[in-house]
Amino acid sequence: MTVSIGLLGAGRIGKTHAKAVSQLESAKLAAVYDPFEEAAKEIAAQTGARIDSLDAIMNDPAIDAVIIATPTDLHAEQIEQAARAGKAIFCEKPIHLDGDRVRDCLKVVEETDAKLMVGFNRRFDPNFAEVKRQIEAGAVGEVELVQITSRDPSPPPAEYAARSGGLFKDMMIHDFDMARFLLGEEVVDISAMGSSIVDPAIGEAGDVDTATVMLKTASGKIAVITNSRRATYGYDQRVEVHGSKGLVSAENKRTTTVTVANENGYTAEPLMDFFMERYVDAYRIELETFVKALTEGTAMSPSGIDGLKALELAETATTEVAKARETAKA
């Protein structure tokens, strides 16, 4: 079976997915849609996909699946349309910034029995995937404490920070998913702290740029997440999982293994710059996994529920930090 795929959205991440599909033997990119036609043309030229309208793609019975890589506020609606059209769906995270809207959308998914996978790409990073494999293989025994460090190289414009739903929904949502993935249990308790010390404009826009969260499961496992919008030394992405038998950890990736030593010491290069470089393998493997689940008829993971759970944690953290800011002002 060759999966025939329609791509919605031909921006940066859409291009990444188009390239991943073009490298798969069991899938082909049949059509691409983007209101900005130049972007669509570029992908069409590279992959041989036709350019088409959103509705035409949704209604084409020859198309098995859609990849939703459009702006966030269109995700839920397009998931619903695709679900009703009987398409399998790969959707970039988040499904929506509002939890209620996500719940409504997932009801449609459930009613139509649609297959939905949400793009938490980091689960497919070879390093974090290996950490998960080690946990499952029993290398650390029972998981006790998860530590996630996640830092962007530099802050986004303050107006983006506001529009994005805030740090917890825009950035830490990946780490909430990673925490659930590594803990292997649902979170029942959460506590958050945040500051705007990297860029005051972000604080004025009502968001934070430095934040930490503690999570706890019913059995007492704990996770700690730290986020910052600043890391002068590159995109910092690490996890540690401590268990009853030991520790498994994934360090950052670098482009080379070169070190220069002199009277000032030993210097290794900074980390990769950002997610398009750091997670290039993850994006590819993610799409492979989606296509494989389709051709083999296995369950989609991460699922719509995974998307919802991470968002709910982000909503709680957002509210808690907002309250603390109000209190501090009062």
CA distance 270 to 18: 29
Q: Which residue has the tokens 């998307």?
A: 307
In whole angstroms, what is the distance from residue 5 CA to residue 67 CA? Answer: 7
Q: Which two tokens stand for residue 311?
A: 């968002």
Q: Contact positions toward a copy of itself, by CB under 8 A?
A: 126-127, 130-131, 134, 139-140, 142, 144-145, 147, 149, 151, 189, 191, 193, 195-198, 210-212, 214, 216, 219-222, 224, 226, 228, 230-233, 236, 240, 242, 244-253, 255-270, 324
Q: Which is nearer to a copy of itself, 54 or 131 (CB)?
A: 131
Which of 330, 261, 279 minimizes the C-alpha distance to 13? 279
**Nearest distance from C-beta of residue 87 to a copy of itself, angstroms:** 29
- The CB-side HSE value for 286 (13 A sphere, CA atoms) comes to 28
Comparison of 97 and 211: residue with beta carbon closer to a copy of itself: 211
Which of residues 80 and 236 has its CB atom nearest to a copy of itself in the complex?
Answer: 236
Instruction: Please report how close the Cβ of residue 291 comes to a copy of itself at its closest, in angstroms.
Output: 18
**Cα distance between residue 77 and residue 55, in whole Å:** 13
- Give the shortest CB-194-to-a copy of itself separation in angstroms: 8
Smallest separation (angstroms) from a copy of itself to the CB of 223? 9
| CB neighbour list of residue 280: distance below 8 Å, 6 or more residues apart | 16
Query: Which residue lies nearer to a copy of itself by CB, 53 or 267?
Result: 267
Return the number of the residue (56 or 280) whose C-beta is nearest a copy of itself: 280
Instruction: Give DSSP secondary structure letters for 65-97.
Output: EEEE-S-GGGHHHHHHHHHHTT-EEEEESPS-S
CB of 80 to a copy of itself, least distance (A): 38
Cα angle 283-20-124, degrees, rounded to a multiple of 5? 25
- C-beta separation of 16 from 90 below 8 A: no
Distance between start and end Cα atoms, the chain: 62
**Among residues 15 and 242, whose Cβ is nearest to a copy of itself?**
242
Smallest gap from residue 326 Cβ to a copy of itself (A): 14
Measured from the CB atom, the residue of 262 and 297 that comes closer to a copy of itself is: 262
Question: To the nearest whole angstrom, how small is the minimum distance from the Cβ of residue 267 to a copy of itself?
Answer: 5
